[in-house]
């Protein structure tokens, strides 16, 4: 295991753990981006709306895997969720995430 794997764990293992616990996939792209293609069954809340939706997201009572186009916005969303007591992980770009999770 490399240094980063040792320090941060294996992301694929974390993704599979979240998937096995029925995590919600949260797409934080714009509406136009989401409407052009998304992971089936994912929820959509644009990144800029995340802070106002924390209460609603907490009601899901499930871990959250965030995704976007490349992983930048989903990283910000995962950080916001984590700071608010929601178990969240950045899944990165939605196309790659779908492949990793076999969706």
Which pTM value belongs to this model? 0.89
pLDDT (tens digit, 9 = 90+) per residue, 54-100?
999 999 999 999 999 999 999 999 999 999 999 999 999 999 999 98
Task: Map tokens 């895997």 to a residue.
Answer: 65
Cβ atoms of 57 and 86 within 8 Å: the answer is yes
Q: Which domains does the chain have, with CATH numbers?
A: 10-100 (3.40.250.10)
pLDDT band at residue 2 under the 50/70/90 scheme: very low
Closest CA to 94 of 60, 70, 78, 58: 70
pLDDT the model gives residue 9: 56
Q: Rounded to whole angstroms, how far apart are CA atoms 75 and 66?
A: 7
pLDDT (tens digit, 9 = 90+) per residue, 18-65?
999 999 999 999 999 999 999 999 999 999 999 999 999 999 999 999
């Amino acid at each position: 295991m490399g240094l980063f794997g040792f320090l941060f764990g294996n992301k694929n293992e974390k993704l599979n753990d979240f998937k096995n616990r029925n995590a919600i996939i949260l797409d934080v792209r714009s509406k136009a981006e989401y409407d052009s293609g998304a992971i089936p069954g994912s929820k959509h809340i644009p990144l800029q709306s995340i802070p106002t939706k924390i209460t609603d997201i907490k009601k899901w009572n499930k871990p959250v895997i965030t995704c976007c186009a490349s992983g930048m916005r989903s990283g910000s969303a995962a950080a916001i969720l984590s700071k608010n007591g929601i178990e969240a992980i950045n899944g990165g770009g939605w196309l790659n995430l779908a492949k990793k999770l076999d969706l």
